[in-house]
Amino acid sequence: MATQLTTHQTGADSAIERLPRVFSGIQPSGNFHLGNYLGAIRNWVKQQDLYANTFCIVDLHALSLATTREGLQENIRNLATIIVASGIDPEHCTLFVQSDVAEHSELCWILQSVTQFGELRRMTQFKDKSGGQDESVSSALFTYPVLQAADILLHDAELVPVGEDQKQHIELTRDVAHRFNQRYGETLVLPRPDIKEEGARIMALDDPTKKMSKSSPNPNSYVALGDTPDIIRRKIKRAVTDSGSEIVVDPDKPALSNLISIYAILTEQTPAEVQEAFVGKGYGAFKSDLGDVIVAAIEPIQRRLAELDASPEIIEEVLRSGAVKARDYARGTMIRVRDRVGLGGF
């Protein structure tokens, strides 16, 4: 059987010069926010010409928390539209929906056999999301990081551009891939996280000790991509700040530092430069400018969103052709994996 395998299927690297492979994913769980944009998608867009990119709307992951059929369908469509409106070029990147490629679930099961229970118990996201209720949450929430490992390893990703909160999951992916390779021989590529210094951890506007999150019950804690300019400006005005009045980056002023960091990324400055520009000006002037900066960044995306929403067949075609490309690649990896493990084949 192995004699018929192609280079991709055998895992041997081609001599032809090629771009490094990138994979990243995002859950269709509603309320796409500024943290998702600054921590992930903005970087995907900025770097898309440097890599061979695969981006995935991870609908199977979204099932780990309760969903409805209509809600999930709407979220998948909206998220795909947001990703394209944000600047991902479907001609250059593969964009697809996870459940359209059954190999993700298959590899997840195989990887569960080399993942330790204790490793999953140590995942901080499980502890956060289960809220200590581990008797009643779905077991999918517990095994979620194995599916994430399968996503990455199936596409031979070398780099995974994500926010800080995903670092532990990428480290687990490396450990699982390493263990698999030790048991079955070199098969899977060990990925590295690509986490930028700026924007990797955008904090909630109402509480700088918590990250900005899609699942927050308080809509004032995040700027959603669909917020109108008025709402954005109001949310920034209401954002908590620390005591004092000067615009300074200071670890003892986490709320202000978070806002400065958002301002700095969107205006392509360093936080020190932002601090310099606001010497002698108070919180009021800073927040008013920050509101304008966010609105200016989001408005062109919203305009493209409206155009794409008017022609839904564009996104449908992007996802259909993305699934064909992703399935094709995944099939090759699974031929290699099944062969190494000794599954089926008769």
Shortest distance (Å) from residue 58 CB to ligand TYM: 4
> In this complex, which beta carbon is closest to ligand TYM, that of residue 55 or of residue 286?
55
Distances, alpha carbon 7 to alpha carbons 4, 52, 184, in Å: 10, 17, 18
Residue from 163, 208, 322, 332 binding ligand TYM (CB under 6 A): 163
Compute φ and ψ for 96, nearest 5 degrees. Answer: -150, 170
Q: Which of 54, 41, 124, 148 is nearest to 92 (CA)?
A: 54
Catalytic residue numbers, as ranges = 129, 211, 214
Place of tokens 């003892």: 252
Encoding tokens for residue 32?
A: 């796409």
Residue length of the chain: 346
Please report which helix (H) or strand (E) contains residue 231, including its range.
helix 229-238
**Residues 183 to 212: which contact ligand TYM by CB under 6 A?**
200-202, 211-212
From the list 22, 52, 58, 323, which residue makes contact with ligand TYM (rule: CB under 6 A)? 58
Of 162, 174, 168, 169, nearest to 202 by C-alpha is: 162
Position closest to ligand TYM via CB: 39
The size of the interface with ligand TYM (CB under 6 A), counted in residues, is 24
Q: Using CB under 6 A, pick the residue from 151, 158, 194, 289 that binds ligand TYM.
A: 151
| 265's tokens | 């990324």
In the complex with ligand TYM, the residue whose CB is nearer, 10 or 144, is 144
Query: Looking at beta carbons only, is 33 or 339 nearer to ligand TYM?
Result: 33
Is residue 26 involved in binding ligand TYM (CB under 6 A)? yes
Q: Is 162 in the site for ligand TYM (CB under 6 A)?
A: yes
Among 10, 11, 21, 39, interactor with ligand TYM by CB under 6 A: 39
Shortest separation between residue 39's beta carbon and ligand TYM, angstroms: 2
**Burial class of residue 275 in the structure, from the number of CB atoms within 10 Å of its CB (0-12 exposed, 13-18 middle, 19+ buried):** buried
CA distance 286 to 207: 19
Q: How far apart are the first and last CA of the chain?
A: 10
The smaller minimum CB distance to ligand TYM, of residues 61 and 174, is found at: 61
Which residues are at the interface with ligand TYM (CB under 6 A)? 23-27, 35-36, 39-40, 58, 61, 148, 151-152, 160, 162-163, 165-166, 200-202, 211-212
